[in-house]
Amino acid sequence: MSDKKKANHAKDTTNRNIAIGMVIFVVLVGVLFSVLSNKTNSKVSIPASVSATDGYGIVFNKDAKVKVDIWEDFQCPHCKEFESVSGDYINGLIRDGKIRAVFHPMTFIGPESVLAAAAAACTADSGKFLNMHAALYNNQSATENSGTWTNTTLKLLAITAGDSSKATASCIDSGKYTNWTQNVEADAAKKNVNSTPTMFINGAKLNQAHYLDLAGLKADFAAAGVK
């Protein structure tokens, strides 16, 4: 090689190394961004009934002995089936104060899950969460993120669920609890929740076959001490 060729060669190598370095840099920045944006943020607004120690879930009957945790995504079809099989029974137990229920609305299915979970949290503040919970499943679209749920349609849904308060409407409009959904998701990741619906009774995962088997579910609750 002549000297000139050698010099060009060295320059090319340097340029290539710079380009490789840039790609590696972007990758590391991306990883850092993902890690930071998926962490729990203790500064976000949370509904009054949410407990950080319960994984940022929405809590009912905080003094009842039998503890039930439900992880769900309002856009998940199996959650809708679970709701249609056992929703009335579980809501009855909550109304009778027999279980300490913690709802964890997850949002991994996408943007409309975030909107729905945030809107449901708004109705929790006016005591209408269980109604909104049922209304969301009744109104679930067959296709995910298809434009069914927007803040406008969710406000109407809240009204049909019996929550026509101005506070709820402005809470939905302002996306007050949007960032709270990230905390719920981060906690579900820590607790190894890999599918929805997932129910824990006193910290133990429900038998997979009992999600769509009301008699089996009732037996599990009885075994846990629900009379």
Partner 1 sequence: MTFSKVQPWITLAGRILLGVVLLLAGYLKAKSPAEAQMAVRAYEVLPVSIANFFGLALPWFEMGAGLLLIIGLAVRYSALFGGALMLLFVVAISQAWARGLTIDCGCFGGGGQVAAGHTKYLQEILRDLGLTLTGVFLYRFPKGKFGIDKFESTSELGDNSER
CB 138: neighbour CB atoms within 10 A?
13
Find out whether 137 and 124 touch, Cβ atoms under 8 Å: no
Query: Is the CB of 23 or the CB of 142 nearer to partner 1?
Result: 23
Nearest to 206 by CA among 78, 197, 215: 197
In whole angstroms, the minimum distance from the beta carbon of 85 to partner 1 comes to: 16
Rounded-to-10 torsion of CA 8, 14, 19, 21: 170
Structure token pair of residue 152: 């406008």
Beta bridge partners of 205: 200
Considering only residues 171 through 200, tell me which ones interact with partner 1, judged by CB under 8 A.
185, 188-190, 192-195
In whole angstroms, the minimum distance from the beta carbon of 20 to partner 1 comes to: 5
By rule CB under 8 A, what count of residues binds partner 1? 31
Query: Is the CB of 21 or the CB of 225 nearer to partner 1?
Result: 21
Query: Is the CB of 8 or the CB of 51 nearer to partner 1?
Result: 8
Task: Build a one-symbol-per-residue string for 30-69: x at contacts with partner 1 by CB under 8 A, - elsewhere.
Answer: xx--xx-xx-------------------------------
Burial of 149 from C-beta contacts in 10 A (0-12 / 13-18 / 19+): buried
Residues that bind partner 1 (CB under 8 A): 9, 12-13, 16-17, 19-20, 23-24, 26-28, 30-31, 34-35, 37-38, 106-110, 185, 188-190, 192-195
